[in-house]
Amino acid sequence: MQAVNWDEVRGRTVALYARPGMGLGRRGLPEVLSETQVRQAEEQFGVEFPEDYRQYLLRVSAGGRVRKLQFNGSRWDWDGARHEDHDELHVPFPDHDSALAESEDAWDSQPKREDYISDAAYQTAHDAWRETADAIEAARVTGAVFLNDDGCGFYTLLVVSGPMRGTMWFDGRATCDRLNPLLNDDRQAATFAEWYLDWLAHEESLTTPEQRRTAFQSWHAGVGRPIWFRWFDS
């Protein structure tokens, strides 16, 4: 893991959120969590967060670029998450290819009306199939935090359990069947620290709306993409 001066990162992040006119500071940067609070969340979910994300929570912010980790009076969870999103964080994140193959098999087995003698028989079979297919699809993201809502049904994930623990992934299932690792410059799945520091450096360089528009045009063309934007890189 790369050595990171998280106090410096905190200062840079605070300065970025204080910069006027860029839309980042509308709700302000959430305060950090205490060691006790982080441990409470870990105990609830039955995991230990990757160390770089832990340090972010303790020394930079409970939210900001990512969904805010908060206690709602009865449980810990990330702001905006559905209750069932993180029930299986302790279950290892599965091998992508195996999980994808199982998902494809399930969708290929969808019942067809012509195979059943009545609407009622078809509906019963379809309901049972749908329950199984939904469970298989949900199992593809066990062990991962829905860390950022990218809009349009897309999410950035942080894996916290299993062999891929500590890596960042993109959930593109809103338009395709893919879960892709977000790759660093060495074409390896990026860590949280790599993902966040890369985002921070790019944001610091975009000081005007014109620069931002130009940058996004370049990224869409495949030039200089930040890690978070490498959604469908193979």
Q: Amino acid identity, residue 93?
A: F
Q: What is the pLDDT along the chain (234 residues), one digit of tens a residue?
A: 568 999 999 999 999 999 876 566 566 899 999 999 999 999 999 999 999 999 999 999 999 999 999 999 999 999 999 878 999 999 999 988 888 888 888 889 999 999 999 999 999 999 999 999 888 888 899 999 999 999 998 999 999 999 999 999 999 988 888 899 999 999 999 999 999 999 999 999 998 889 999 999 999 998 999 999 998 876
3-state class of 191 per DSSP? strand
Spatial separation of the C-alpha atoms in residues 67 and 87, rounded to whole Å? 17
Can you state the percent helix, strand and coil of the chain, rounding each to 5? 45, 15, 45
* Cα separation values, 98 from 68, 93, 95, 140, 206, Å: 32, 11, 6, 9, 40
Spatial separation of the C-alpha atoms in residues 79 and 34, rounded to whole Å? 18
**Which tens digit of pLDDT belongs to each residue from 80-135?**
998 789 999 999 999 888 888 888 888 899 999 999 999 999 999 999 999 998 88
Question: How many other CB atoms are found less than 10 A from the CB of residue 80?
Answer: 11
Q: Find out whether 76 and 44 touch, Cβ atoms under 8 Å.
A: yes
The contacts of residue 194 (CB under 8 Å, 6+ apart) are: 2, 168, 184, 227
